[in-house]
Amino acid sequence: MNKKDCFFLGKIVKKYSFKGELLVKLDTDDPQLYENMESVFIEVRNNLVPFFIESSQLHKSELLRIKFEDVDTEEDADALMKSGLYLPLEFLPKLEDDKFYFHEIIGFKVEDKNFGYVGIITSVNDSTAQSLFEIDREGTEILIPMNDEFISKVDKINKTIFVDTPEGLIDLYLEED
């Protein structure tokens, strides 16, 4: 399994018991969805390795307490500390209407209400306080904040996101120096 075919579920943050149990900080708004998994992929030395789950339960709402098969000692648990957990993309819950996962919209066209065709989404920058659409317009990068007020409609069938950005925002990127 390759990382590009998976989504990040969370990170092992702490040992829970001397019997190899671990606590995972989940990266989700709905931790209950992941309480009864059979297996996950754990990143071990840049490879995704499948691990089967003996038992799991939510612990203090945002943490998941997991007991993996064949992880029976503190030493076994230590070897997995700070590792990332991944699941295949098909395990992501389906989103309705105008909601989307970042990986889903790569390659979507962007149409602005006033400007018209803007370009193609090449990636999403979520390292800033506000996530940004990174859009390629014939070699010029345009950044548009992923603000609910700017996004008018997401047309998944036609792979187009309709936006209504403040006047002049897109032009800032296209002005000649």
52-77 burial, b at 16+ Cβ within 10 Å, e below that, comes to eeeebeebeeebbbbbbeebeeeeeb
Residue 29 vs residues 20, 26, 52, 63: alpha-carbon distances, Å: 26, 9, 24, 12
Q: Which regions of the chain carry the CATH code 2.30.30.240?
A: 102-174
Q: What is the pLDDT of residue 136?
A: 97
Q: Which regions of the chain carry the CATH code 2.40.30.60?
A: 3-91
Q: What is the pLDDT of residue 177?
A: 53
Of 14, 84, 4, 18, give the one whose Cα is nearest residue 51.
84
Q: What is the pLDDT of residue 17?
A: 86
Which residue stretches of the chain have pLDDT < 70?
A: 176-177
Tens digit of each residue's pLDDT (9 = 90 or more) over 92-115: 877 777 788 888 899 999 999 999
**Residues 132 and 80: beta-carbon distance below 8 Å:** no
Q: From 2.30.30.240, 3.40.50.720, 2.60.40.10, 2.40.50.180, which CATH number describes the 102-174 domain?
A: 2.30.30.240
Q: What is the pLDDT of residue 161?
A: 96
What's the rounded Cα separation, in Å, for the pair 33 and 97? 20
CATH class, range 3-91: mainly beta
Q: Which residues touch 104 (CB under 8 Å, ≥6 apart)?
A: 156
Of 57, 51, 65, give the one whose Cα is nearest residue 23.
65
Report pTM.
0.68
What's the rounded Cα separation, in Å, for the pair 68 and 66? 6
Q: Considering Cα of 74, then 75, then 81, then 83, what sign does the dihedral take? A: negative
As beta bridge partners, residue 61 has none
